[in-house]
């Protein structure tokens, strides 16, 4: 059996893989407890092309849900210490929904702007529950949603209509209602991207954005939804690969102790699991290796590390964490703390799922869900 330190490091590594087939290497790593969670993308789904009848028929790419359920069953393995691996996906609505037809197709969350309060909040909770029910029926544990960013920059190339609004209070109300819906379905929510990606003019998938707002502005706008998420005990918050000059002028939030521990943990009082955004993104990868970034992110206060694509990066990050654990007792304690927090979340998640049995797969793309999506989109 792997050492306790190796099992702890394994809990911190949340990884992706390249195809619909479960690689033998990843299966072995899951069985050995070297991976805490897996993340699925469109590339992990099998598809068939369906052509509609008639001379003007169109073709549609439809996900093979049988294959997806079988894959998720294979991924739901437990480490040697009995800790289960979780399965995550980005299912926000709009452009960011990995599972599409025959699942319900949801409009972007800015569509809530078409609803007056308090109907917008009630609808957000219903949408979260519906998305959660469909994910749960497919075997997912985590939805990397809701977006807690406030969309204040029309030139923002990455957030846009993914946000729940352009006003901090409105966005927070709707997003946290969505999270309550996920919880009611037995799916873990993850608010993103702390301390706020809504006013950037560059995409952190491609380069490292920077925000130069003063503290007063950050507190009133960017940070408000995250402060409320901390109060609401959201199970997970994801960091942003963005430099916030008023908080730490040299390091992106993911790698900044001042931001992750000083602000999110200490000042805002957040007690849940802090997840890094993908360390394969250029905002990090073009500045340092995954090995250095993994160690710095854990030192900063992150608990889980996303490594969504590159297996070499995953191996480098794991090796670096294990080396640091061996030579630095304070780092070993930090890793142990992070792993304990992840295990506690997994236990609470298992209790929540036992109290809320998974729905039948007939819920996926159901008439009720499609009607709700149409109402949100203003098509009702």
pLDDT (tens digit, 9 = 90+) per residue, 327-378? 999 999 999 999 999 999 999 999 999 999 999 999 999 999 999 999 999 9
Token representation of residue 69: 């359920």
User: At 38, which helix (H) or strand (E)?
Assistant: strand 37-40
53 has a pLDDT exceeding 60: no
Size of the chain, expressed as the number of residues it contains: 380
Query: What's the confidence (pLDDT) of residue 207?
Result: 53
pLDDT at 56 over 90: no
Bridge partners, 61 (sequence order): 49
CA 10/CA 249 separation, integer angstroms: 31
Residue 245: name the closest of 272, 221, 214 by CA: 214
Residues 163 and 109: beta-carbon distance below 8 Å: yes
Which token pair is 166? Answer: 């352009």
Q: What does the pLDDT look like over 188-220, one tens digit per residue?
A: 999 999 998 877 655 545 556 788 888 999 999
* Full strand arrangement of the beta sheet holding 142-143: 273-275, 236-239, 188-194, 142-143, 86-89, 37-40, 13-15, 305-307
Closest CA to 236 of 151, 164, 145: 145
- Alpha-carbon gap, residue 266 to 257, rounded angstroms: 11
* Residues above pLDDT 70, as percent of the chain: 94
H-assigned helices in 282-378: 282-285, 290-300, 311-327, 329-355, 367-377
Question: What angle in degrees, to the nearest 10, is found between the helix axes of 119-138 and 367-377?
Answer: 140
- Domain chopping of the chain, boundaries: 4-377
Q: Are 290 and 316 within 8 A, CB to CB?
A: yes
4-377 carries CATH number 3.50.50.60? no
Contact (CB, 8 A) for 306 and 278: yes
369 in active site: no
- Return the pLDDT at 59: 75
| DSSP-assigned letter for residue 96 | E
Q: How many helices (H) and strands (E) does the chain have?
A: 13, 14
- In this structure, are residues 223 and 268 in contact, taking their beta carbons and an 8 Å threshold? yes
Minimum mean pLDDT range among 44-53, 126-135, 217-226, 326-335? 44-53
Query: 């109060």: which residue's tokens?
Result: 231
Split at pLDDT 50, 70, 90, the class of 55 is: low
Catalytic residue among 143, 183, 199, 277: 277
The residue with tokens 């846009």 is 160
Question: Active site residue: 64, 76, 203, 205, which one?
Answer: 205
Catalytic residue list contains 277: yes
Q: What sign results for the dihedral spanned by CA atoms 189, 101, 164, 306?
A: positive
- Name which of 103, 157, 89 is nearest 134 in CA terms: 103
Q: How far apart are CA 17 and CA 88, in angstroms?
A: 12
Task: Identify any residues that bridge with 50 across adjacent strands, giving them in sequence order.
Answer: 60
Whether the model clears a pTM of 0.85, i.e. scores above it, the answer is yes
Q: Report whether pLDDT(240) > 70.
A: yes
């Amino acid at each position: 059996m792997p050492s306790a330190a190796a099992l702890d490091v394994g809990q911190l590594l949340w990884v992706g893989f390249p195809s619909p087939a479960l690689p033998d290497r990843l299966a072995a790593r899951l069985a050995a407890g070297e991976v805490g969670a897996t993340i699925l993308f469109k590339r992990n789904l099998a598809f068939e092309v369906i052509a509609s009848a008639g001379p003007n028929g169109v073709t549609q790419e439809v996900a093979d849900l049988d294959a997806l359920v079988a894959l998720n069953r294979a991924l739901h393995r437990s480490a040697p210490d009995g800790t289960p691996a979780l399965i995550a996906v980005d299912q926000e609505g709009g452009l960011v929904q990995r599972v599409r037809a025959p699942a319900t197709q949801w409009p972007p969350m800015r569509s809530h702007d078409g609803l007056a309060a308090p109907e917008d909040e009630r609808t957000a909770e219903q949408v979260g529950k519906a998305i959660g029910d469909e994910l749960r029926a497919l075997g997912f544990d985590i939805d990397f949603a809701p977006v807690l960013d406030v969309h204040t920059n029309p030139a923002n190339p990455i957030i846009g209509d993914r946000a729940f609004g352009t006003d901090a209070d409105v966005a927070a109300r709707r997003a946290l209602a969505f999270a309550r819906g996920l919880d009611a379905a037995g799916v873990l929510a993850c608010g993103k991207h702390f301390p706020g990606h809504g006013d950037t003019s560059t995409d952190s998938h491609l380069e490292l954005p920077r925000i130069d707002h003063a503290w007063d502005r950050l507190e009133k706008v960017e940070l408000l939804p995250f402060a409320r998420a901390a109060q609401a005990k959201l199970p997970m918050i994801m960091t942003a690969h963005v430099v916030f000059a008023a908080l730490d002028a040299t390091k992106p939030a993911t790698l900044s102790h001042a931001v992750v521990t000083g602000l999110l943990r200490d000042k805002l009082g957040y007690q849940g699991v802090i997840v890094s955004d993908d360390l394969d993104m250029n905002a990090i990868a073009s500045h340092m290796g995954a090995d250095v970034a993994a160690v710095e992110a854990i030192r900063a206060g992150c608990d889980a590390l996303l490594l969504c694509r590159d297996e070499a990066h995953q191996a480098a990050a794991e090796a670096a964490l294990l080396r640091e654990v061996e030579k630095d007792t304070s780092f070993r304690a930090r890793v142990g703390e992070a792993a304990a927090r992840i295990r506690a979340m997994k236990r609470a998640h298992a209790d929540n799922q036992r109290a809320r049995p998974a729905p039948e797969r007939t819920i996926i793309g159901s008439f009720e869900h499609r009607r709700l999506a149409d109402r949100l989109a203003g098509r009702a």
